[in-house]
Amino acid sequence: MKRIMFLLIVSLLLLTACGPAGTPTEEPTATPPPEPTPTESADGQTVRIMTHDSFDISEEVITAFESEQNATVEILKAGDAGVVLNQAILSKDNPLADVLYGVDNTLLGRALEEDIFQVYESPLLDEIPDRFELDEQHRVSPVDYGDVCLNYHKAWFESEGLEPPSNLEDLTEPNYAGLTVVENPATSSPGLAFMLATIGNFGEDGDYTWLDYWNELSDNDVLITQGWSEAYYEQFTYGSGGSGDRPIVVSYASSPPVEVHFSEEPFEEAPTGVVVGDGSCFRQIEFVGVLKNAQNPELAKAWIDFMLGEQFQEDIPLHMFVFPTNENADLPQVFVEFAVTPENPILIDYGRIQENREAWVDDWADQVLQ
């Protein structure tokens, strides 16, 4: 009977011993744990940016903004782009941040429908080609873009004496049976982009639709993985260092220069190639916007100008492996040398994507997974 009491005493001792971690549970309402306060600058201004896990940039770029504005930048990463957008939607009355960066054209429809952004027309938009500006009301601004394309392992095709593919149709040829790995559009962003490329390329109506294409692709033993990492690092012959057996993978047009950049040995040419034929890639454009009910909208707008400015834009390629939208931004040498860009990638209206997304993915699953 008294045992409990002693358990409790020991427990409380342990509780105090484990310090601040233990305190909040003891009396949660009375003593909330201290909010981690960022080191505030002279005039105490902080801009909070909410973004996805892939966001990255140089420390000196952030510092430049902080000293220019005499402010502090706080970055909140919370999962992949879809998760982050959901969090922004669910917290729109009391937002987690002032700025949301990382909504792409496959998610833009949902973001605008949920009305989470406020209008801001940055003067820097003059330096950005109109084709990237999808929202006429300027609730979001385009920051960067990238193309999802087929990549292939050059050495593999050389040693097999086979021509690398040059368009989507090639993948259904008997020569290419069992060579391709793609990501599941239901769970992966490049997977969804590639499915959209086939929809844009083959269309929904007519004798031969995108579903017919997938049917043939299935018959030709295409492998579907959950995400990009499994496709690229486990199944792709190059990325897996030989343990995978698929020399064609859905990845990005920027993957070859990134391969060169992150390799120990110097390369004459990139070890992987990209299929950039007309209609074989899907273009993703990423946007930034000021959230409604932002605590610090003025600083948020300054941040957006900064993101669209040259210093930030030039830092994008080697940190996020996508291309800057600002025309005046210079590309790093490795991108100039090794990157190829499709001239006519597939673009699908974001409203149409939002409307059909679930149905398309379900149709795809019915066709490919049965």
Partner 1 sequence: MSRRANEGRVDLSTLSRLARLLIYAVLFAFLILFYFYPLTSILSLSFTPEGNVSLEPFTELFGRPRYLRVLWFTIWQAALSTLLTVALALPGSYIFARYDFPGKSLIRALTTVPFVLPTMVVSLAFTAVLGPRGLVNMALMRVLGFQEPPLNLQHTVAIILLAHVFYNYTLVLRIVGSYWSNLNPRLEEAARMLGASRWEAFRQVTLPLLVPSIAAASILVFIFDFTSFGVILVLGGPRFATLEVAIYRQTVHYLNLPLAASLSVIQILFTFALMTVYTRLQATMTLPVELRSRRATQRRPRGWREWIWVGGNLALMVVLLIAPLVALVQRSLTLGGGLSFTFYRELFRNPRGSVFYVPPAAAVRNSVTFALATVGLAVVLGLMAASMLDGRSTRVDVQESGDGSLLKTLWRGLRQLLDPVLMLPLGTSAVTLGLGYIVALDEPPLNLRTSPVLVILAHTLVALPFVVRSVLPALRSIQPQLREAASVLGASPWRVWREVDLPIVARAVVVGAVFAFTVSMGEFGATSLIARPERPTMPVAIFRFLGRPGTINYGQALAMSTLLMLVCTAGFLVIERFRVGGLREF
Site for partner 1 in 267-306 (CB under 8 A): none
Tokens of 84: 């982050």
Work out which of 45, 56, 279, 305 binds partner 1, going by CB under 8 A: 56
Work out which of 94, 126, 174, 343 binds partner 1, going by CB under 8 A: 94
Work out which of 6, 42, 207, 268 binds partner 1, going by CB under 8 A: 6
Q: What is the C-alpha to C-alpha distance for residues 363 and 41, in angstroms, rounded to an integer?
A: 53
Q: What angle (nearest 5°) sits at the alpha carbon of residue 268, between those of residues 267 and 269? A: 90
Any contact of residue 54 with partner 1 (CB under 8 A)? Answer: yes
Q: Which is nearer to partner 1, 228 or 306 (by Cβ)? A: 228
- Phi, psi angles (nearest 5°) of residue 189: -70, -50
Any contact of residue 150 with partner 1 (CB under 8 A)? Answer: no
Min dist. Cβ of residue 28 to partner 1 (A): 5
Work out which of 147, 230, 286, 363 binds partner 1, going by CB under 8 A: 230
- DSSP code, position 168: T
Min dist. Cβ of residue 292 to partner 1 (A): 15
Q: Which is nearer to partner 1, 128 or 281 (by Cβ)? A: 281
Among 351, 348, 362, which residue's Cα sits nearest to residue 185? 362
Helix (H) or strand (E) holding 250: strand 248-252
- Cβ 47 vs Cβ 300: under 8 Å: yes
Among 237, 235, 254, 258, which residue's Cα sits nearest to residue 159? 237
Any contact of residue 331 with partner 1 (CB under 8 A)? Answer: no
Any contact of residue 319 with partner 1 (CB under 8 A)? Answer: yes
Number of residues that bind partner 1 (CB under 8 A): 97
Q: Which is nearer to partner 1, 79 or 129 (by Cβ)? A: 79
Among 232, 260, 222, which residue's Cα sits nearest to residue 340? 260
Any contact of residue 59 with partner 1 (CB under 8 A)? Answer: yes
Residues 7-46 that bind partner 1 (CB under 8 A): 7-8, 10-11, 14-15, 17-22, 24-30, 32-33, 35-36
Residues 155-184 that bind partner 1 (CB under 8 A): 184
Any contact of residue 347 with partner 1 (CB under 8 A)? Answer: no
- Cβ 157 vs Cβ 178: under 8 Å: no
Q: What is the C-alpha to C-alpha distance for residues 194 and 325, in angstroms, rounded to an integer?
A: 21
